[in-house]
């Protein structure tokens, strides 16, 4: 018999990306880093089915897979030495190569770990985060997916739900990355700002003040592994000098923690100063890039401080927007960055973590999604109401999808 999922209505789970504000590279050597949730999110739409199949739809990377739940492996505790070994249990199920491979394996691992009975549902995920840009797109997917499957399986507790979501999202990150630090999924789950030191549990910073930022994607590909190795080589060659630089990066992070938790006059300007210092120190380690320096030049003309975020070498830059900056000024900066060939997003860092949405403006998410479609698309989707919802969710513009966050 097909078990009824723990929902008969559509719902959405959204989870934010992350940006490292202070401490990149130094964190590898036991120094402090500060990260914040980035309100560019992944959105998982969950809709029930009447059969015993589960469907995973990831339109951003061309995945649309339908699985018979009788064929998916069921996992017991300690069955695998590492979550990444789930592929060995997939049997005759063919997992395609390509960008969606790890996402499918993560889904299989979480489903097999959380579900005992057969059931039917569809999970469709849209992400408004650029991939491989150091903004935690993988963690946002894993947090949203883990939260959705925990709720469907009836394993989401009333208390300490975020701890349970974070635990399973970390397992998903292990499938994707082998030995992740855990900071990305922790930020995405909890939201806000976190202080992190390797080997210690991340600590939420006691501040409710989200920061307005610009995130600018250089679209320059880079290898995190190679950049980390480059810093390690520099440290091996010049240990005294590089250790002093790493210590200084640590101090920028520690100073930022103090500013976040002890708000006073001048905090905003001091954060801007720390952003400039942190980037300069990272550039000294050789992990900046001409594109990142160009972004810093453009934003500095408008009294905005920018720095690389993540591994550097390309990827993204983070710009703090002063609280007194007008919308016109921010738009001008964005136009200048776009004219220079960059993708630029205006958002906030330090906002909400994982969240569930059942309705938008008192209207159920499935009805709202279908209503948001242009009339000709609405008429073209299949008659089945949830098929229409899924098709609508896939077709909606990113700006409309963003309204599904609470």
Provide the annotated active-site residues.
138, 184
Cα gap 329→306, rounded to integer Å: 16
How far apart CA 90 and CA 392 sit, in angstroms, is 31
The distance from CA 15 to its chain's CA centroid, rounded to whole angstroms, is 7
Of residues 201, 192, 184, the one with CA closest to residue 146: 184
Q: What is the C-alpha to C-alpha distance for residues 211 and 13, in angstroms, rounded to an integer?
A: 23
3-class secondary-structure state, position 217:
strand
How many residues are present in the chain? Answer: 406
Rounded-to-integer distance, Cα 86 and Cα 82, Å: 8
- Residues 6 or more apart whose CB falls under 8 angstroms from that of 269 comprise none
DSSP state of 77: T
Residue 340 CB: number of other CB atoms within 10 A? 15
CA distances from 28 to 138, 239, 311 (A): 20, 15, 11
Measured distance CA(6)–CA(148) in Å, rounded: 10
CB-based contact 337:216 (threshold 8 Å): yes
If phi over 0 gives left and psi between -120 and 50 gives alpha, with beta otherwise, what is residue 273?
alpha
Q: Which two tokens stand for residue 226?
A: 């190679």
Terminal C-alpha separation, the chain: 36
Report the C-alpha gap between 47 and 8 in whole angstroms.
8
For residue 219, the 8-state DSSP code is -
């Amino acid at each position: 018999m097909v078990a009824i999922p723990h929902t008969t209505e559509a719902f959405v789970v959204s989870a934010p990306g992350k940006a490292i504000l202070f401490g990149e590279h130094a964190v590898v050597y036991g120094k402090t880093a500060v990260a914040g949730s980035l309100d560019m999110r992944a959105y998982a739409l969950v809709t029930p089915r009447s059969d015993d199949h589960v469907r995973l739809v990831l339109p951003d990377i061309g995945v649309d897979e339908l699985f018979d739940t009788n064929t998916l492996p069921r996992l017991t505790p300690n069955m695998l030495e590492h979550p990444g070994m789930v592929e060995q249990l997939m049997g005759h199920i063919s997992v395609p190569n390509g960008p969606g491979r790890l996402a499918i394996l993560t889904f299989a691992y979480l489903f097999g770990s959380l579900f005992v009975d057969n059931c039917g549902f569809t999970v469709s995920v849209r992400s408004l985060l650029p991939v491989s840009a150091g903004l935690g797109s993988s963690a946002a997917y894993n947090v949203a997916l883990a939260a959705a499957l925990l709720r469907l399986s009836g394993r989401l507790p009333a208390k300490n739900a975020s701890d349970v979501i974070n635990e399973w999202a970390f397992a998903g990150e292990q499938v994707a990355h082998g030995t992740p630090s855990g900071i990305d999924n922790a930020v995405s789950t909890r939201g806000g700002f976190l202080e992190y030191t390797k080997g210690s549990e991340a600590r939420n910073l006691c501040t409710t003040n989200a920061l307005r930022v610009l995130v600018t994607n250089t679209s320059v590909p880079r290898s995190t592994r190679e950049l980390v190795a480059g810093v390690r080589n520099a440290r091996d060659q010049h240990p005294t000098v590089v250790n002093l630089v790493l210590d200084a990066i640590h101090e920028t992070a520690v100073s930022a923690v103090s500013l976040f938790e002890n708000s006073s006059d001048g905090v905003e300007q001091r954060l801007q100063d720390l952003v400039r210092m942190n980037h300069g120190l990272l550039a000294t380690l050789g992990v900046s890039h001409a594109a990142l320096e160009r972004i810093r030049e453009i934003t500095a003309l408008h009294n905005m401080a920018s720095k690389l975020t993540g591994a550097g070498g390309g990827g993204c830059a983070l710009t703090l927007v002063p609280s007194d900056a007008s919308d016109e000024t921010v738009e001008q900066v964005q136009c200048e960055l776009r004219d220079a060939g960059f993708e630029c997003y205006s958002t906030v860092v330090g906002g909400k973590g994982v969240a569930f949405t059942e309705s938008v403006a008192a209207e159920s998410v499935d009805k709202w999604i279908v209503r948001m479609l242009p009339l000709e698309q609405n008429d073209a989707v299949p008659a089945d109401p949830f098929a229409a919802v899924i098709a609508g969710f896939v077709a909606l513009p990113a700006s409309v999808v963003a309204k599904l966050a609470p």
